[in-house]
Amino acid sequence: MPDVIHLLPDSIANQIAAGEVIQRPASAVKELLENSIDAGSTSITLVVKDAGKTLIQVIDNGCGMSETDARMAFERHATSKISSVDDLFSIRTKGFRGEALASIAAVAQVELKTRLHDEPLGTCIYLEGSEVRSQEPCQTPAGTIISVKNLFYNVPARRNFLRSDAAELRHIIEEFQRVALAHPNIFFSMYNNEVEIFHLKPGNLRQRITTVFGSASNEKLVPVNEQAGVVKIYGFVGKPAFARKTRGEQYFFVNNRYVRNNYLNHAVFINYADLLPPNSYPFFVLFIDIDPSSIDINVHPAKLEVKFEDEKLVYGFVRAAVRHALAKFSVTPELDFDQEQSLNQIQAQQQQAMTNRPSSERASPGFLEKRDTANWEKLYEIGLKTQTEFTLPSDLSVEGEDPASEESSIRPIQIHCRYILSQIKSGFIVIDQQAAHERILYEKYLRALNSHAPGTQRQLFPRTVHFSPDDASLLRQILSDVNTIGFDIQEFGQDSFIIHGLPADIQIDGEEQQALLEQILEDYKNNLTVLRLSPRESLARSLSQRAAVKAGKALTVREMQTLIDQLFACEQPYLSPGRKNTFITFDFEELDKLFSPRQPAGKLTS
Ligand code: ADP
Ligand code: MG
């Protein structure tokens, strides 16, 4: 039998390898833009025709290349950016594999014009399918102009595989935006079919974001800025009002390189839990700066993925930083010790991690911290009391009252039967009793729905209720959830039902029971269509709003204390299910400012 193995010619080997790096016009755009950045350019223009299928051209004013380098640049594994294995662990440039130009040249017609700044003449080189067809001196501005024509002209399978112009252009714009966001100090412009679609003057990050996403985004940005040891995070997160239905506008950059990392996204998203309607995502542009030796970006040729030596630590850091930022801008109230504690913890962990390196333990991607009630204990000098079931309305106030003691000075006070005032370490806190109780019940009902452990109170006399056919069919549909939440309702034929029991928090009888159920069905329809809540969320929300203690109801000290304890044991104590603030804090610092001495009248006018 004859030998059958032979080496592939270079041109085919290159084409195969190119498939890994260059999948579509947008991948070529990314590589070319990154080369221009690595070349130290301060001005970069991208020109595409027919969504990059006919032409992708990048014009920069970077360092340019010598005659020899211009030729070398198209050789596989030719790079000026690393020269030893050690360099791989301290990468600060975008490129380093020396593959991009070789790959592009394998599947397109490429013209490169380039000139070093101190040379009078530049060089123009032309390649087709990896082969140099010509090279000659030429007049050209200092810097580089690279034109990629007819991408995949020699790989019909790939060319046919490309999507519509509109779809390919969207990919290109996405790459362009990522690069432009990461480098606000560089001028960028972009043309498609001779129309300028971006013109981004150099500026700071906020200016760059608002020119990329529209000036309306400006007021919706909340700055993030945190440093813990060698990790730094900065950038912006969007206020909840800026949330979108798409997952598109989330940008993470690690050492200025755009990365996709769902684990990190989660660290941001979790701070928005409950602040956003379901299926919408917060906007963010965040930069993490970290010692390059503690990450691995060489996971994938397109370098979109990043591995952290200690992923869990970075997760905690991102989460705490975003929480702090949102709290600081009163998007969600937060208490500073909470923040400081998390960041201090991270710093401590980091030091520990440094001493234990290399750490073999990696965080599991599903890692999810549970809110730690210990934080809230610190908030209250009195500490958390034993958790008693909070049953309202209740008239046992006299029996429940504590005798006067040294604790009396830190007892909560009710104001106009609506708000509860309570002392905390850093000042005082004002709680909206109704909003707070709604939140408590909401989480309780959600727990019941998820664990199937309702607290039902059986009625001595079951009650029969009748509904319209419409409502009856809806009730039948959600009956098992309604019962899981604490009702005990049975079908009784002909649009009738028998109520055997109610959730333990609800003490109403007769007519009111039917009204409550009608109200729940009504809320349910609204929640589902208008707010697009899930069936369970909707039920929990509706019932919590119906069952919560109302403004105007006098509370005993014990009831208030229980309410406070239970509120701060909630996973998201800040907002009611209807998204009202449940409490507001007043710090000494703010109070002292308000009470500071006034300026003498004379000084004010000078
Ligand atoms: P890499 O960026 O990984 O080094 P590339 O194939 O993208 O590999 O580029 C090869 C080399 O060509 C680069 O290392 C750089 O020296 C040179 N080069 C590419 N584009 C430019 C440019 N726009 N300006 C100056 N030099 C460039
Ligand atoms: Mg490159």
Q: Is the pLDDT of residue 109 over 90?
A: yes
Residue 36 Cα to ligand 2 middle (Å): 8
- For residue 82, what pLDDT band results from cuts at 50, 70 and 90? low
Average pLDDT over the chain reads 79
- For residue 374, what pLDDT band results from cuts at 50, 70 and 90? very low
What crossing angle do the helices spanning 433-451 and 535-547 adopt, rounded to 10°? Answer: 140
By most ligand atoms within 8 Å of CB, the mutation choice from 27, 35, 67, 125 for ligand 1 is 35
pLDDT value of residue 234: 96
Q: Which residues contact 395 (CB under 8 A, 6 or more apart)?
A: none
Residue nearest to atom 23 of ligand 1 (CA): 36
Residue nearest to atom 12 of ligand 1 (CA): 73
Q: Where are the beta strands (DSSP E) in 311-440?
A: 413-415, 419-424, 427-432
Counting ligands in written order, the one closest to the CA of 91 is 1
Which helix (H) or strand (E) element contains residue 265? helix 262-269
By most ligand atoms within 8 Å of CB, the mutation choice from 29, 34, 36, 101 for ligand 1 is 101
Q: Where are the beta strands (DSSP E) in 303-418?
A: 307-308, 413-415
- For residue 364, what pLDDT band results from cuts at 50, 70 and 90? very low
Tokens read off for 512:
């009111």
Name the more confident of 133 and 347.
133
**Portion of the chain with pLDDT greater than 70, in percent:** 76
pLDDT value of residue 96: 60
**Does ligand 1 have an atom closer than 6 angstroms to the CB of 561?**
no
Flag the least confident range among 199-208, 281-290, 343-352. 343-352
pLDDT value of residue 350: 54
pLDDT digits (tens, 9 = 90+) for 455-470: 677 777 788 888 888 8
pLDDT digits (tens, 9 = 90+) for 31-60: 999 999 999 999 999 999 999 999 999 999
Average pLDDT for 285-304:
73
Residue nearest to atom 16 of ligand 1 (CA): 80
Counting ligands in written order, the one closest to the CA of 97 is 1
Q: Is the pLDDT of residue 436 over 60?
A: yes
pLDDT digits (tens, 9 = 90+) for 299-343: 555 556 677 777 888 888 999 999 888 887 765 544 333 344 445
Phi, psi of 602 (to 5 degrees): -60, -40
pLDDT digits (tens, 9 = 90+) for 469-496: 888 888 988 888 888 888 889 988 878 8
pLDDT digits (tens, 9 = 90+) for 184-236: 999 999 999 988 889 999 999 999 999 988 777 778 899 999 988 878 999 99
Counting ligands in written order, the one closest to the CA of 18 is 1
**Does ligand 1 have an atom closer than 6 angstroms to the CB of 95?**
yes
Residue 383 CB: number of other CB atoms within 10 A? 10
User: Order of strands across the sheet with 496-503?
Assistant: 456-466, 496-503, 488-491
pLDDT value of residue 163: 86
Q: Is the pLDDT of residue 73 over 70?
A: yes
Ligand 2 ion local residues (Cβ < 5 A): 35, 95, 100
Residue 365 CB: number of other CB atoms within 10 A? 12
Beta strands at 187-192 and 143-149: parallel, antiparallel or unpaired: unpaired
pLDDT value of residue 424: 79
Tokens read off for 214:
């529209």
Query: Both ends of the chain: CA-CA distance in Å?
Result: 104
Tokens read off for 544:
């919590």
**Does ligand 1 have an atom closer than 6 angstroms to the CB of 97?**
yes
